[in-house]
Amino acid sequence: MDLFRLDGKTALVTGGTRGIGLMIARGLLEAGAARVVISSRKAAAVDEAVAELSKVGGGEVVGVPADLSTEEECLRLAGTVEGPLHILVNNAGATWGAPLEEFPSSAWDKVIDLNLKSPFYLTKALVPRLREAATADDPARIINIGSIDGIMTPGQRYSYTSSKAAVHQLTRVLAKELGPQAITVNAIAPGPFESKMMAATLDAFGEAIAEAVPLKRIGRPDDMAGAAVFLASRAGSYVNGAVIPVDGGLTVA
């Protein structure tokens, strides 16, 4: 359906070389996006993902290595975007788990810098590009990747859960401010999906986690791609300030 098409659109997906970011980048291309820019810290991972996504066909795939834990790198990445930007997906992130008594300050700073500060810095820098692409009938879109850990209360991932709850609130604040400029801001709060960040957890507890989900399974790539395409397409053009759990119902279980 045309409601879900992204023909002619340009998107930037941070952390787009693996896991949820790669799922979203692929989904945007399959929905017809003309150009998808992906970023990641490691140049080799960027090259590998560009080669993989280029096989999807259709739109152009561009890779930009960038360490988004610093404001300088966020600004450098933003500076590589030329012309209108229709879709910004703030996905790059990190996690850390340790007992409270042992949780290091360096881990707190690392996670907050990447998960919370970088979406703010990128959004701030790219608003002119997003505004250039926006119209009243077809707003530009910002999609922040939060987490159900920012809704629920898991243990020992103190900086991660705090950063994701803050991303949800930042999403609401930005939605109110940027809505009048024809830029929507929404967040996806993923539940359990197969990704490098969750690999160890799923290896150890995957069956138990799937059993706890009302739909009795782990998330699939199309589940994440579908949510992102909805928010990025005309189908989601009147959704603004929402935090959407994509978790099979885990947050209400």
Q: pLDDT, tens digit, for every residue of 109-161? A: 999 999 999 999 999 999 999 999 999 999 999 999 999 999 999 889 999 99
What CATH number should be reported for the domain holding residue 9? 3.40.50.720
What residues are annotated to the active site? Answer: 160
The per-residue pLDDT for 45 is 97
**Residue range(s) defining the domain that contains residue 78:** 2-246
pTM as predicted: 0.95
DSSP state of 237: T
Q: pLDDT, tens digit, for every residue of 35-61? A: 999 999 999 999 999 999 999 988 999
Longest dimension (CA), the chain: 53
Greater pLDDT, 196 or 130: 130
Does residue 50 lie within any of the structural domains? yes
Q: How many C-beta neighbours within 10 Å does residue 65 have?
A: 16
Q: In the chain, how many domains are there?
A: 1
The per-residue pLDDT for 149 is 96
Does residue 252 lie within any of the structural domains? no
Q: Which two tokens stand for residue 24?
A: 């979203």
pLDDT, average across residues 208-227? 95
Does residue 149 lie within any of the structural domains? yes
Does residue 251 lie within any of the structural domains? no
Q: Please check the confidence at residue 200 and state whether its pLDDT lies above 80.
A: no
Q: Please check the confidence at residue 196 and state whether its pLDDT lies above 90.
A: no
Does residue 241 lie within any of the structural domains? yes
The per-residue pLDDT for 211 is 93
Q: pLDDT, tens digit, for every residue of 161-171? A: 999 999 999 99
The per-residue pLDDT for 194 is 84
Does residue 253 lie within any of the structural domains? no
Q: Please check the confidence at residue 95 and state whether its pLDDT lies above 90.
A: yes
pLDDT, average across residues 54-73? 95
**DSSP, residue by residue, 192-229:** SB-STTTHHHHHHHHHHHHHHSTT-S-B-HHHHHHHHH
Alpha carbon distance 139, 88 (integer Å): 12
